[in-house]
């Protein structure tokens, strides 16, 4: 079995991270400083929807990270516009994170582990690797891991929102998300290699990712 190395994964995934997470956040911060809450949340949501429309028009596969971003942005935008409250806007990521963790959890018994879609966004695999039974059997486990870290993230975020100032909350929250994701990836890679070893599958790390349409 051949899988991309960490450098190859980083080179492939940074665009999805920038498009799906960084740009919407920057649009919100700039829009909020210049024009207020409602224009800021609408600009952030419009970007995410525009990315999906562009990918669909080009016939490209829609990245799972962008899908998750839209879910979160839509929930936050509806509540923020209806209430006009920045507090209500910030509590929405907690709800979104909890819903995402739940989505990972229920995707397993549905036979459509959400982790499989996300992993292919970050590191596409060749056909031989994708069809390896031990490889496919790992995704339900990874979905459970992602569900656990997402639900933990949601609980910690809610605690910070209720106990810290908005400024402190924003600073810590901006680091908490990437830290949780990094932890999930590191633990997931370790668990993956151990699972493949236990299944007798030899894993070879490469510096390239598989080509995708």
80-135 pLDDT, tens digit each: 788 887 777 778 778 778 888 898 889 888 887 888 777 766 666 667 777 778 87
3-class SS of residue 208: coil
* pLDDT band at residue 213 under the 50/70/90 scheme: very low
Quick check: helix, strand or coil at residue 3? strand
Q: C-alpha 53: how far from its chain's center?
A: 19
User: Cα 10–104–116 angle (5° rounding)?
Assistant: 45
**19 - beta bridge partners?**
none
**Do residues 134 and 196 touch, judged by C-beta distance below 8 A?**
yes
Q: What is the pLDDT of residue 209?
A: 47
Cα–Cα–Cα angle for 118, 124, 126, rounded to 5 degrees: 140
Secondary structure (DSSP) of 13-47: HHHHHIIIIIHHHHHHHHHHHHH-HHHHHHHHHHH
Taking residues 155-182, report their average pLDDT. Answer: 81
């Amino acid at each position: 079995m051949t899988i991309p190395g960490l450098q190859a994964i980083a080179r492939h995934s940074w665009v999805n991270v920038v498009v799906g997470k960084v740009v919407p956040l920057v649009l919100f911060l700039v829009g909020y400083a210049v024009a207020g809450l409602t224009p800021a949340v609408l600009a952030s949501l419009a970007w995410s929807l525009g990315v999906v429309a562009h990918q669909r028009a080009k016939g490209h596969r829609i990245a799972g990270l962008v899908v998750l971003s839209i879910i979160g942005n839509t929930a936050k935008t509806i509540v923020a516009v209806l209430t006009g409250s920045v507090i209500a806007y910030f509590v929405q990521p907690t709800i979104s994170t909890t819903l995402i963790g739940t989505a990972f959890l229920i995707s397993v018994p549905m036979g459509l582990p959400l982790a499989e879609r996300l992993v292919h966004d970050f590191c596409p695999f060749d056909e031989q690797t994708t069809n390896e039974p031990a490889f496919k059997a790992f995704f339900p486990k990874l979905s459970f891991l992602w569900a656990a870290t997402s639900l933990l993230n949601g609980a910690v975020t809610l605690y910070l929102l209720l106990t810290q100032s908005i400024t402190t909350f924003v600073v810590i929250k901006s680091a908490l998300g990437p830290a949780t994701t990094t932890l999930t990836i590191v633990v997931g890679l370790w668990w993956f290699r151990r699972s493949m070893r236990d299944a007798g599958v030899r894993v070879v790390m490469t510096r390239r990712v598989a080509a995708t349409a």
